[in-house]
A and B are shown apart, each in its own frame.
Chain A
Amino acid sequence: ETGVTQTPRHLVMGMTNKKSLKCEQHLGHNAMYWYKQSAKKPLELMFVYNFKEQTENNSVPSRFSPECPNSSHLFLHLHTLQPEDSALYLCASSPGQGADQPQHFGDGTRLSIL
């Protein structure tokens, strides 16, 4: 299944680096999401975009900066991250932004902060 594609799959960066994660969906969906998945913790919602407008920022630190240029693409810009930010970052999309819309996930980017 290639409906939601994330790049890179793995990323190692130092705390002072700047990098970006990319997500692209080919499902014709209008809503996109960023989640953080840490070991033995529930998936944490970070951001929600609907028709490329941000509709939710779940108290995420400003060192994470999302960008949604259109309904098919979503970026997460990373700057001055901390070791506790090491996790799997998952992108998802859904037909609309309603909470009852099925969400489809990408394979994620495994991020390691040195």
Chain B
Amino acid sequence: GENVEQHPSTLSVQEGDSAVIKCTYSDSASNYFPWYKQELGKRPQLIIDIRSNVGEKKDQRIAVTLNKTAKHFSLHITETQPEDSAVYFCAASIQYNKLIFGAGTRLAVHP
């Protein structure tokens, strides 16, 4: 069945460093790829998304890249801050009305 693999499962960086999280999807028809941030005890929040007709999208310190040929997409966070510490989930659209999620990456940013 369709799946999304997300790596790494945990990531520890120093404040100011960059963080990269990678996801691979299986359904070649997927055309929408959102990223969610979930802080402890809080709701998942959409932080950035990308559609299949675009290769890269940037919003301040956050960027997402998409390689449709290889079926993978990545989240890049630059100049990390302690408040970036959270669990990050990638997702890919499947069929006509579903998102399938990765297992999550726990990011810790140390001051």
Contacts and interface: CB of A to CB of B under 8 A. Distances in A.
B-side interface mostly: strand
Nearest to B97: A97
Given A99-B96, A100-B31, A90 B44 contact: yes
A82 B66 CA distance: 40
A67 B51 CA distance: 32
Contacts, number: 58
Contact of A42 (B42, B95, B97, B100): B100
A99 B99 contact: yes
A28 interface: no
B104 A42 contact: yes
Interface residues of B, number: 25
Contacts of B89: 42-43
Interface residues of A, number: 23
B107 to A, nearest CB: 15
Interface in B36-64: 36, 42-46, 49, 51
A98 B97 contact: yes
A29 to B, nearest CB: 13
Nearest to A92: B44
B27 to A, nearest CB: 10
Contacts of A106: 43
A108 B40 CA distance: 12
A42 B103 contact: yes
5 contacts: A55-B97, A99-B96, A102-B34, A102-B46, A107-B43
